[in-house]
Amino acid sequence: MRDFQLPGRSTVHGAGGMAASSHPLSSLVAIETLKDGGNAVDAAIAAAALQAVVEPHSTGIGGDCFVLFCQEGSGDVIALNGSGRAPAAADVDWYHQNNLSRIELDSPHAVTVPGAVDAWARLLCDFGTKSLANILEPAIHYAEHGYVVTPRNSIDWSHSVDKLRRDPTAARIYLPNGRSPIAGEVIRQPELAATLRILATEGRDGFYKGYVALDIVNYLTELGGLHTVDDFSHHSSEYVSPITSSYRDHDIYQCPPNSQGIAVLIMLGILEGFDLNKYEPLSVERLHLEAEATRLAYWVCEQTLGDPDQVEILADEIMSKGHIAELQDRVRLDRVAEGIPMVAPMNPETIYLTVVDSDRNAVSLINSVAYAFGSGRVSPSTGVVLQNRGASFVLDSNHPNCIASGKRPRHTLIPGLVCKDGRAELCVGVMGGQYQPVGQVHVITNMLDFGMDVQEAIDLSRGFHFGGEYQLESGIADSVARGLDSLGHRVTAAEMPLGSGQAIRIDWENNALIGGSDFRKDGSAIGY
């Protein structure tokens, strides 16, 4: 239990239902949806749609979505891949012939077909109880009438001013008065409101067929993109089998590739070979082990992950006991392991939310436009911020993540779900691009190895070894930083908080819900 004489947040408790997100309006709308007779799926999609309005730098209908879901607390976990694809005309030779060595973040070639709307509609049709029109009402209201910008969102927004100025529509909508909004200012998005009304009337086809798709395609074509209206009309999300492994008698579920969720399972597999709880949670030893597991898991993922529809990914082999043991053998407590190449950092913006209802239907959902404001390109008439997830493609034909016709790019998005004894126990997610697997592992091990509650686990200071540096948040002692440096880590101070997350734990013994939301953002967990 936390010290109530010190700043902090308590866990949130409820029995009837709970929602946790990075924006207070999103959490509130989810709860209102539950209390209006909706289930967890209805509430989660209503919340995600609202965040597409109030957190436009992080998410939107021009982005992608992944979901883990279980009905009535069952351990039979359902995974939905709502990520979009490269245009049918995308071919690595075309890029080489046009003297491109990489896909730039603001390039039209970085824009993949948005998958979120189809994912929402499909999940709602299959498992929800309300119509898409009903679900979109709060998002339409706030887009049309305005919402108040929160402090953290104001800071994040300000980092994208130069990007937004390069696109006339983006600058007009998202830089009122020629600057980013400050906390307390009201922002309206009438073009987006009109587009959401089309979706409310016409369903998912209102996005992928007709006026909206045509406006997006015409704009991307003007910029030199290869997209066609057929790329949009042929898009569909798909249910996939989740991947899973055990850790400390719990079953950890992730979305399979093209998601990077397998990195979580690799990291936990490595760490299970060490007795973490004999160390302090913020000790040199614990953070060193976490960093080494990170480096090894990311190294494996960089070499192997892509779209499983187009490249062979041997997930069972990657997660096998023999392979995990080989990785464990490379970890040394007295030094940084050598010979592990570092990949370049990728730091997309993201929203993660989770909802559990009275029947214990549990939704773990993540939605994103990739980098802040995606490509920085906004469809002129529809107000849709277009993601730049395609920038993660490489132009090396021998790489599993090489761009190709209709291919899905490797994704950072990973919702998490933990089960025990055949029942759902924890919905958890940590936003922050490449940090997401580390963040999930940090929170999960905080709970399962160190006995923390969900809020304590989220709050605990973080480190991230990536791109050759070990970034540490300010809550980690200087002595620990020096100790990590002595082991060979190049320690630096994190410029911004490392990720942000939410979690809901199902307490089956008391038939209750326990939630937490990260102080690093402005969100909340709400239960009733």
Catalytic residues: 350
What's the angle, vertex CA 113, arms to CA 234 and CA 40, rounded to 5? 90
If one counts every other C-beta atom within 10 angstroms of the C-beta of residue 380, the result is: 18
H or E element, residue 192: helix 190-202
CB 523 within 8 A of CB 502: yes
Residue type, 189: Q
Q: What is the largest CA-CA distance in the chain?
A: 64
Where is 12: in which H helix or E strand? strand 12-14
- Residue 249 backbone dihedrals phi, psi, to 5 degrees: 70, 15
- How far apart (Å, rounded) are the C-alpha atoms in residues 450 and 30? 31
Query: Is-contact 76 362, C-beta < 8 A?
Result: no
Residues 6+ apart with CB under 8 A from 503: 20, 354, 426, 427, 428, 429, 443, 454, 457, 458, 515, 516
Q: Tokens 């929800």 correspond to what residue?
A: 128
Cβ neighbours of residue 222 under 8 Å, at least 6 residues apart? none
- Taking only Cα atoms into account, the Rg of the chain, rounded to an integer number of angstroms, comes to 22
SS3 514: strand
Cis preceding linkage at 258, omega within 30: yes
Using DSSP, state whether 312 is helix, strand or coil.
coil
